[in-house]
Amino acid sequence: MSELDGEAVVVTGANRGLGREMSLRFAREGARVALVARTESELEAVAAEADGETLVVPADVTDSAEVGSAVESTLDAFGRIDTLVNNAGIGLLSLEDGGRPTHEVPEEQWRRIVDVNLTGVFLCSKAALPHMLDRERGNVINISSGLGRYAAPGYAPYNSSKHGLEGLTKTMALDYEDDGVNVNALDPGGRVNTAFWDHLPDEERAEILGPEVMNDAAVLLAAQGPGGVTGESMDAADWEARLG
């Protein structure tokens, strides 16, 4: 029996890539998974493939009303939320297939990237945390990036949003360290073969990580009980070594 049997897990950005793979793995581990993203048809495809109980919850993580409704739908269906995986994310690569120097970044793209990657995490956490606090247990897993710890030229909005996410993760961990809720950041540990990197030549895409790279680490983090590791940010391999 898996430690996640019967657990309720919410995954944002569950329609494709890393979010899709984590959602399918959580379902295989016996968790009930709420699949959150904007595109309902893509979520339905994930639900159809899942080996376990899922709930399709279309929502835009930047819209507080839609996020609140998604959380309430999850509670109505599952009765609780044990783990929130804040995975939804975008960058200049997904918007226009490349970076550009800071002064050339359109304001609307800056706002959109920061809104999804950082404000979306805040809104989803703000909606889900009270229900974890009521039960005095829970896990928040924020999907970060190596670019949250260092920088790359041409990607100011993404770099900034992920640095902000690292700070938010540490702050939330301190906020709830005595309340049974663990808050951590997880990143793949390198470029992942998802749509984010569609612009790369096939030979380069063949050399990068598969989208299932974070599955084992995500399961280990979701299985933590109150008083677990909190406030840390590591890549998948390091989390597996720490918790495995």
Predicted confidence at residue 35, as pLDDT, reads 98
pLDDT band at 203 (very low <50, low <70, confident <90, very high): low
Give the pLDDT score at 201.
60
Q: What is the mean pLDDT of residues 39-49?
A: 98
What is the structure's pLDDT at 133? 98
Confidence of residue 190 (pLDDT cuts 50, 70, 90): confident
1 pLDDT above the threshold of 80? no
User: What proportion of the chain, given as a percentage, has pLDDT over 70?
Assistant: 90
Determine the pLDDT at residue 189.
Answer: 87
Residue 167's pLDDT is: 98
User: Which architecture, in CATH terms, is 8-243?
Assistant: 3-Layer(aba) Sandwich (3.40)
Burial 82-114 (b: 16+ CB within 10 A, else e): bbbbbbbbbbbbbeeeebeeeeebeeebbeebb
The predicted pLDDT at position 152 comes to 87
Assess whether pLDDT exceeds 60 at residue 199: no
Instruction: Report the range of poorest mean pLDDT among 89-93, 123-127, 157-161, 217-221.
Output: 89-93
Encode pLDDT of 63-110 as tens digits: 999 999 999 999 999 999 999 999 999 987 666 667 889 999 999 999
Q: What is the mean pLDDT of residues 125-129?
A: 98
Q: Which residues are catalytic?
A: 158
Residue 191: pLDDT band (50, 70, 90) is confident
Outline where DSSP puts E strands in 38-98. 54-58, 83-86
222 has pLDDT over 90 = yes
